[in-house]
Amino acid sequence: MKRCKYSSRQMTGAASAVIAVVVVAAGSVFAQTSSVDQVLQADMRRLQLAQESQERINQVVEGTRSLADDYRAINKEIDGLKVYNRLMTAQTNGQQATLDDIALSMEQVDVINRQIFPLMERMIDALEQSIGLDIPFLMEERTNRISDLGDIMERSDVSVAEKFRKVMEAYQIEMDYGTTNEWYTESLNVDGAVREYNMLRVGRVGLYFQSDDTTITGWWNAESGAYELLGSEYRNEVRKGIRVARQLIAPELILLPFPAPESAGGA
């Protein structure tokens, strides 16, 4: 009986030992499982941190790339502005030079006006004297032109340039008379009788008249300063000259009397 009791206690102790081993093993397994979970959690945390770091790196890279693009764009804009400023500077300098020229011209306007008005007055007087010494063709038209020039000189609403143009135009008209032939009609007092005649101007050297029926033919005698009759031998010549001037026939040679030329000294 004592032996059996002893064995029972031994068995009980052995069972306790087995249980203790099982408990220790279970605790060890639990401890290992907990360590694995901690390791996995740590790895997940590191992975998460790495992802967050990568995202921050990507953001920094994107920001850097955007700044680089902005920098290049701004540099291009600056280069364009430099070119624009250079062109504008050149244009401004040119405009300033033009303004300086205009300012200088404006300063000289008064001087030019003081010089050109007396010049135009002298030109008009000379033209009037020339008409008075010339053969008396279209006298009303020519004297009216001189009168109009005098009126224009006194008008304040006409520019100096326009006044000068009118004077030069009158000179050009008078010059053209020397190289053209002309036909017109005019009333003349010949030998005390006033009658309308066909007038023939040959340049500035000859002025002739003839009645419509060609019975009266004459010319302006510069030496006597009067209209005089011509002989019948000039009747057809004057008639032919009038027809040429009226463009009724082709130009041809005509024989007409001319005043004798004078020397430059008037002798």
pLDDT tens, residue by residue, 79-127: 888 888 888 888 888 888 888 877 777 777 777 777 888 999 999 999 9
Phi, psi values for residue 214, rounded to 5°:
60, 15
Sign of CA dihedral 67, 70, 74, 75: positive
Overall pTM surpassing 0.85 (yes/no): no
- Confidence at residue 234, expressed as pLDDT on a 0 to 100 scale: 94
pLDDT digits 0-9 by tens, 240-266 = 999 999 999 998 888 888 876 665 454
Q: What is the pLDDT of residue 137?
A: 93
Low-confidence spans in the chain with pLDDT less than 70? 1-33, 260-267
H-only helix segments in 134-187: 139-153, 160-177
> In terms of Cα–Cα distance, which of 267, 266, 143, 137 is closest to 206?
137
Give the three-state DSSP class for 184: strand
Sign of the four-CA dihedral 235, 184, 242, 171: positive
Question: What type of residue sits at position 170?
Answer: A
Contact yes or no for 129/100 (Cβ under 8 A)? no
Instruction: Write b or e for each residue in 179-206: b if 16 or more Cβ atoms lie within 10 A of its Cβ, otherwise e.
Output: eebebeeeebebeeeeeebbbbbbebeb
Q: Is-contact 200 181, C-beta < 8 A?
A: yes
pLDDT for res 144: 96
